[in-house]
Chain A
Amino acid sequence: MERRHRLELFPERSVALLLFQSVRNAAALRSKAVAGALEGALINPAMIVDPFQILVAANKAVHLHKIGKMKTRTLYSEIIFSLSPNNNISDAFKKFGISDTDTAVLIVLVVDSDKTINLESIASQVEGQQVSLDELPQLTDTARVKKMYKITPQEEKIGTLLDSVVCRMSTKDVL
């Protein structure tokens, strides 16, 4: 149900994605995460077009973490920040992190590739239903994504929304 992906550039690390719907305790989860009591990045699935988007953010975060050049304080907050098309950290948390009233939550974990992770301990803390990542497209708010990433009408003709989103994520620090 959950998805696991090894990072080609950092083979000793893997990314795990868990998706939950009908979540009732988003507020509690959020405060736990902020306090550091919950392992993982809590992301708002409405802003996510495809798991690839998360993987790109995670890849960048792991890279920056490795060379000591993260802009935020933890690996997980860096993943959330990497999703943003701009360099405003608090804006990234607001738009891509979860809010107290959200009912869908995407949890991203970065683990060592050879270790088996105890997903149960994470899933048990969520008062909601774990669903397959295949449900993600239904949760995506395409209009909001287009607005956040400022996708131009010309762009839509030359590639997918995912292409545009990932492009902005990966090149935001060059401008």
Chain B
Amino acid sequence: GLFLGRAAVAKLRVPKRYRHPALEERLSRRRTAQEARSLLRCRRAGIPAPAVYFVDYVTNSIYLEDIVDSITVQDHIYSVQQSGSDTSSLHNLAEKMGELLARMHDEDIIHGDLTTANLLLRPPVEKLDLVLIDFGLSFISGLPEDKGVDLYVLEKAFISTHPDTEMMFQALLKSYAATSKKSGPVIKKLDEVRLRGRKRSMIG
């Protein structure tokens, strides 16, 4: 709704009753702090993410800028695939995504929950103006392993939510590699993580 006259989103951390209360409090607090920290770090580095208006450490909720009239990349891919005007626009989108993630990783920001639902497109959609959201599981790390896992999570999300998008993800990775100077070890780790994943033979 409106927060002090501006369009805002309130992220209220719903207490998970199945958790032990002490753990719940600590986890909530940590996630809220991590989210706030990552959002500030993104902003300083020029990585598009919502602005933080207010952090309430009592209820562990964050009040953020509402990216008005945006659509998720997930919804956008659905609609493009439905209408049939494929390859070129989605290819460009993938390139932009790769570029954005490379810049984020170069700042040692690990998103932690990369999915197409956590990437927004500002209107007008043709401009491919991306905004990253939902940094609740994010953390700071320089390790290629963590960055590789971040990309792996996105790859899995892509495959499971959007059929026939292997080419798109390839383009994303290519653009990632071209944008980030530290991408070599990250891609290497990604390959390793792929071999490690669920239902993968770890014999040997």
Bound pair (A, B): yes
Q: Give A contacts to B, CB under 8 Å.
A: 5, 7-9, 52, 55-56, 59-60, 63, 67, 152-155, 157-159, 163-164, 166-168, 170-171, 173-175
Residues of A within 8 A of B54 (CB): 9, 56, 59-60, 63, 170
Known: A8-B3, A158-B46. A170 touches B33 (CB 8 A): no
Which of A5, A63, A158, A174 interacts with B43 by CB under 8 Å? Answer: A158
Report Cα–Cα, A174/B57, bound state, in Å.
10
Size class of the contact patch on chain B: 20 to 34
Asked if B45 lies at the interface with its beta carbon under 8 angstroms from chain A, I say yes
A174 lies within 8 A of B51 (CB): no
Query: Which of the 9-residue segments B34-42, B69-77, B156-164, B178-186 touches chain A?
Result: B34-42
B46 lies within 8 A of A167 (CB): no
Asked if B44 lies at the interface with its beta carbon under 8 angstroms from chain A, I say yes
What residue of chain A has the Cβ atom nearest to residue B45's Cβ? A154
What residue of chain A has the Cβ atom nearest to residue B47's Cβ? A158
Summarize B's interface: helix, strand, loop or mixed: mixed
A56 lies within 8 A of B46 (CB): no
B52 lies within 8 A of A164 (CB): no
Additional pairs, 16, CB under 8 Å, beyond known A5-B5, A164-B43, A174-B37: A5-B4, A7-B4, A9-B3, A55-B4, A56-B53, A59-B4, A63-B54, A155-B44, A159-B43, A163-B65, A164-B51, A168-B40, A170-B52, A171-B36, A171-B40, A175-B37
What residue of chain B has the Cβ atom nearest to residue A53's Cβ? B4
Asked if B6 lies at the interface with its beta carbon under 8 angstroms from chain A, I say yes
Kindly supply a per-residue 1/0 record for chain B positions 54-85, scoring 1 wherever the CB is within 8 Å of any chain A CB and 0 otherwise: 11101000000100000000000000000000
B4 lies within 8 A of A157 (CB): no
Report Cα–Cα, A63/B6, bound state, in Å.
19
Report Cα–Cα, A63/B4, bound state, in Å.
14
Report Cα–Cα, A128/B5, bound state, in Å.
29
Which of A56, A63, A167 interacts with B40 by CB under 8 Å? Answer: A167
**Which of A52, A63, A158, A167 is the most central at the interface, judged by chain B CB atoms within 10 Å of its CB?**
A167
Asked if B203 lies at the interface with its beta carbon under 8 angstroms from chain A, I say no
A45 to chain B, nearest CB (A): 18
Asked if B48 lies at the interface with its beta carbon under 8 angstroms from chain A, I say yes
B37 lies within 8 A of A52 (CB): no
Report Cα–Cα, A152/B24, bound state, in Å.
36
